[in-house]
Amino acid sequence: MTLSTADVPIKVENAPIVGESSIHTLDDLKRRRPNEVAFMLAKLTLEKYFRQDGELRTDRPKEHTFDREVKLWLFPQMLGIVKRWLAECVTLKDNTFPQLLLLIEFAHDAADRIYRAIVASTDGTAALKPILRPYDKVGSTRYVDFDTVRAVFATREDKCHISHVVADTDSWEQKMAEALEDMTEVIHYVKNHNLGFSIPYTLNGEEHQYTPDFVARIDDSHRPVDLLNLIVEVTGREKKDKAAKVATARTLWVPAVNNHCGFGRWAFIEVPDPWDAQNLIRAFLARAQAVSTKEMVHG
């Protein structure tokens, strides 16, 4: 996580038309003890993600107080994790300081990142489980029907159930679709437009919905009835929300759905260059196969 004055100014000059100018700083915040930052982030992370009722706290109260559903006994361990995260994962730019994490927006962002780091470090466990919708648990391309004025790319009938790929840019989605169609490993694919498939994520403590670009069903040398569902995200310019979307999909959504064992196998890949998509996807599949083979040998 990077803190800089691009996110919040730490020094502001108030220069009115009439009267003297004045300088306002966040020096009072800077004088807060570093341990206060660690304690508050540990509390917030526990309150949001480590609850006995299994619910996710998405509200943003001005004061953070424990309730009976919080797993209080995890606080010492969480505090150690937070202190290590602050030391290793926070970058300070433009004379910023860690106490900025006491501001509610940064605090929620930090808590989300800490939780994703914890989940990412516990590979091989089945702790994550998906929270399914009470209805429409399984989506389909069968009834997709819509009109659009955007540019489109005509698909092959043997590769895609939907007649056209709707493009968001001049060439990226079109090239990605073409790359998927030319791969023999790809049995089917679809552009995720008007399918209703989205992944919930939080940014600065607020809930959002992330809509991935493509979903491809891939033959990765498993049984023909056990195809890999690969979520493909075509990455453009780096944005703060993009990082949160990708991290949530990769470290939370995919492991949770795979742990459920009722919706097939899923994986996630970020493609920064559609013109190199085939090489990137094949390299990803090769690494995944190598990891699977190693686990079988040592299992």
Residue 78: count other Cβ atoms within 10 Å of its Cβ: 22
Bridge partners, 190 (sequence order):
215
Confidence of residue 260 (pLDDT cuts 50, 70, 90): confident
Pairing of strands 152-154, 228-234: unpaired
Does the pLDDT value for residue 155 go beyond 50? yes
- pLDDT of residue 204 exceeding 70, the answer is no
What is residue 207's predicted lDDT score, i.e. its pLDDT?
Answer: 76
Answer left, alpha or beta for residue 15, where phi above 0 means left and psi between -120 and 50 means alpha: beta
C-beta atoms surrounding 175 within 10 Å: 17
Distances in Å between the Cα of 10 and the Cα atoms of 23, 25, 32, 123, 159 are 10, 5, 15, 39, 54
Q: For the chain, give the secondary structure using H, E and C.
A: CEECCCCCCCEEEECCCCCCCEEEECHHHHCCCHHHHHHHHHHHHHHHHCECCCCCCCCCCCCCCCCCCECHHHHHHHHHHHHHHHHHHCEECCCCCHHHHHCHHHHHHHHHHHHHHHHHCCCCCCCCCCCCCCCCCCCCCCCCCCCCCCCEEECCCCCCCCCEEECCCCCHHHHHHHHHHCCCCEEEEEECCCCCCCEEEEECCEEEEECCCEEEEECCCCCCCCCEEEEEEECCCCCHHHHHHHHHHHHHHHHHHHHHCCCCEEEEEEECCHHHHHHHHHHHHHHHHHHHHHHHHHC
For residue range 67-82, what is the model confidence (pLDDT) as tens digits?
Answer: 677 888 888 888 999 9
Q: Encode pLDDT of 172-181 as tens digits.
A: 889 999 999 9
Question: Residue 10: its pLDDT value, please?
Answer: 78
Give yes or no for residue 166 having a pLDDT over 70: yes
Question: Comparing 233 with 244, which gets the higher pLDDT?
Answer: 233
Give pTM, 2 decimals: 0.65
Task: For residue 229, name the pLDDT band (cuts at 50, 70, 90).
Answer: very high
Mean pLDDT of all residues belonging to the chain: 82
Q: Is the pLDDT of residue 265 over 80?
A: yes
Answer yes or no: is pLDDT of 238 > 50.
Answer: yes
